[in-house]
Amino acid sequence: MPNVPDLVKEANGFSTFNPMQQKVLDAPWTTHNLVVASPTASGKTIIAELVGLESILNRKKKAMYTGPLRALASEHYNDLKKKYAEKHQIKFAVSTGELDSSSKYLSNFDFIFSTFEKLDSLLIHRAEWLQQIGVLIIDEVHELDSDRGATLEMIITKLRILNPKIQIVALSATIPNADELATWLKAELVESTYRPVPLKEGVHFHQTIVFKGNEQIELAQEDPFEGLLGDTMKQKKQALVFANTRPRAESLAKQTAVIINPLLSVEEKKSLEKLSQKIENALEIPTEQCKKLAHLIKNGVAFHHAGLIARQRELVEDNFRNGLLKVISSTPTLAVGCNLPAFRVIITSVQRFDFSGMKNIPVREYKQMAGRSGRPKYDKAGESIVLCKTEMEAEEVMRNYILGKMEEVSSKLGVQPVLRMHLLALIASKYIFDVDSMDDFFARTFYAQQYHDLDNLKRMLRGLIKELYELEFID
């Protein structure tokens, strides 16, 4: 039987595993469910490699990875395929679209990468090959607390019923109630504070950066971008700028281009010109967005959001990793999991717009963005800086975000419209067929584990059954 840890070390050019990864290897990782909670950039993807290869090579079972974003699934698929496909005869597949199909062809693959929504669709279609999965790797499991959290909760509950022997390995940034998740999943909890590059978190106001611990840096320029980006380039480093909307990400990229262009070398400008042409011609007929992005690329700057086509996203990410692009201005989607660290992260706002107006983002979301700073092998420390307009705002950000505690993860299944939709899907796909099977199914959810209030949940479910019957959705 192959020694999987040795294979993973060889494929990644490691001589040893880091302290967090070693902690997992000291746990019963080949047989038990695991919840791994450790800071952003601590190397959790290696855990996915270890358990995935162990399942495929030694247990002769499929491995499945699921995460919140298509970009994340594709990134890990490309990375692992490059490292293991040819050498170990492993067949890799990525499936994130076509939600109305059981995707039978996936039964021919060993390691499958998907989004939460795609996996939920496969479960609704009762794809038979799901019973051949040895391990399910759930990335960003703290998303149980997001607007797609109920879908993730349904996936886990259905899959544990459909495939009782499946091993579940849940990866998460540090969360206060990781033990509660581990109890629900009957899992070993591995918690670590290890981070390969120390993170310095601070705020910027009136030409001053104040870091946690009260270290201060004065900048000469009044404009925060000019000061921070000029200083970043002077140190021959890169920056990620986070904006709360797509238009804002694009306009900040435009503003940034003016600052970065004069600081580029002649050779860099030549290489950026070639990259710009590839970006513009990623589609047969370039759109306005293609032209806008291509123009910015010439200046060593790009924007990044879900509206980019896959090829453009790939080119932007690869050329940021190799150092040709100096600054990416992005929506917070880039903060989730994608391996794009920079020396400095600039967060332009800790608020975002939703249907009720502007509201503060969760501390967890701030920590995800801040965690993108600090590149292993390149930086001795990473810097994350929130832009503030006043000293009062800076004090509030320092208190609530930089020194603040992350929120606990809580189930989102108890919201009636969400519960109604999932209940109907469970009936239609025959996971439940009478009141007893309904009660049994929901007793296995994270909601039941967390609130210990099955009576209230049962009342809600019976009310919804009555409603669905009156609307003639069910017999």
How confident is the model over 232-276, as pLDDT tens digits? 999 999 999 999 889 999 999 999 999 999 999 999 999 999 999
Q: Are strands 187-191 and 167-172 parallel, antiparallel or unpaired?
A: unpaired
pLDDT in tens, 411-464: 999 888 899 999 999 999 999 999 999 999 999 999 999 988 788 889 999 999
Which pLDDT band, with edges at 50, 70 and 90, does 337 fall under?
low
Which pLDDT band, with edges at 50, 70 and 90, does 471 fall under?
confident
Helix/strand/coil for 137? strand
pLDDT in tens, 107-129: 899 999 999 999 999 999 888 89
Beta carbons within 10 angstroms of residue 469's beta carbon: 11
Is the pLDDT at 100 greater than 70? The verdict is: no
Average of pLDDT values for 297-313?
Answer: 90
Phi, psi of 326 (to 5 degrees): -95, -35
Residues of the chain above pLDDT 90, percent: 67
Beta carbons within 10 angstroms of residue 100's beta carbon: 7
Report the alpha-carbon distance of residue 239 to residue 327 in Å, rounded: 5
Average of pLDDT values for 35-53?
Answer: 92
pLDDT of residue 40: 81
Which pLDDT band, with edges at 50, 70 and 90, does 194 fall under?
very high
pLDDT in tens, 127-144: 889 999 999 999 999 999
Strand (E) or helix (H) holding 48:
helix 45-53
Q: Which of 9, 17, 10, 407 is nearest to 194 (CA)?
A: 17
**What single DSSP character describes residue 433?**
-
pLDDT of residue 96: 78
pLDDT of residue 368: 87
pLDDT of residue 74: 86
Which of 306-320, 332-346, 453-467 is least confident?
Answer: 332-346
pLDDT of residue 283: 86
pLDDT of residue 47: 96
Mean pLDDT, the chain, whole residue set: 91
pLDDT of residue 264: 92
Average of pLDDT values for 342-369?
Answer: 88
Is the pLDDT at 474 greater than 90? The verdict is: no
Is the pLDDT at 207 greater than 80? The verdict is: yes
Is the pLDDT at 99 greater than 80? The verdict is: no
Residues of the chain above pLDDT 70, percent: 97
**What single DSSP character describes residue 361?**
P
Report the alpha-carbon distance of residue 123 to residue 125 in Å, rounded: 5
Q: Please check whether residue 209 is in contact with residue 55, taking contact to mean a CB–CB distance below 8 angstroms.
A: no
**What does the block give as tokens for 310?**
């896959």
pLDDT in tens, 148-185: 899 999 999 999 999 999 999 999 987 889 999 999 99
